[in-house]
Amino acid sequence: MTAVLVDSCVLLDIFLEDPVWGGWSRSALVSATDSSPVVVSPVVYAEVSASFRQQAALDLALPRSEFRREPLPWTAAFQAGQAFAAYRRRGGARTAMLADFLIGAHASVAGYRLLTRDAKRFRASFPDLELIAPEA
């Protein structure tokens, strides 16, 4: 089974009970956990942590029995930097976060699928990456 790296936006939709995306994100995450190992990177963990007051609460929300934690591969860090630089050369906004490129590169280098609702940027920067995303 190919693992699934979960993007921060999906977890935040669930944790913050987003009225628009919460249902889709919860359903997609449940489906992913039923069929594949689900991975959380340090980048995702850091982005999600801003919504928690204590690390213990975040760790309860992301139990190790359901979410495999993996370090960011060095190759992914390089690939993310290259993808971000290419994005900027194409005229991409300075407001885009390098974190998104780190998440996409991690999934790409590891051969994982990426569970996200922000498919546009990932498709543009990582065209071979298999996405689990809402239909356009």
Instruction: Please list the ranges in the chain whose pLDDT falls under 50.
Output: none
**Per-residue pLDDT at 92:** 82
Strand runs labelled E in the chain: 4-6, 38-40, 68-69, 113-115, 131-132
User: What number of other Cβ atoms are within 10 A of residue 29's Cβ?
Assistant: 21
Q: What is the pLDDT of residues 21-31, one digit of tens each?
A: 999 999 999 99
**Per-residue pLDDT at 48:** 96
- CATH number where 61 lies: 3.40.50.1010
Q: 114: helix, coil or strand?
A: strand
Which residues, in sequence order, are CB contacts of 43 under 8 Å at separation 6+? 8, 72, 99, 102, 103, 106
- Domain count along the chain: 1
**Per-residue pLDDT at 95:** 66
Structural domain boundaries, residue 10 = 4-132
Question: Which residue has tokens 């919860």?
Answer: 26
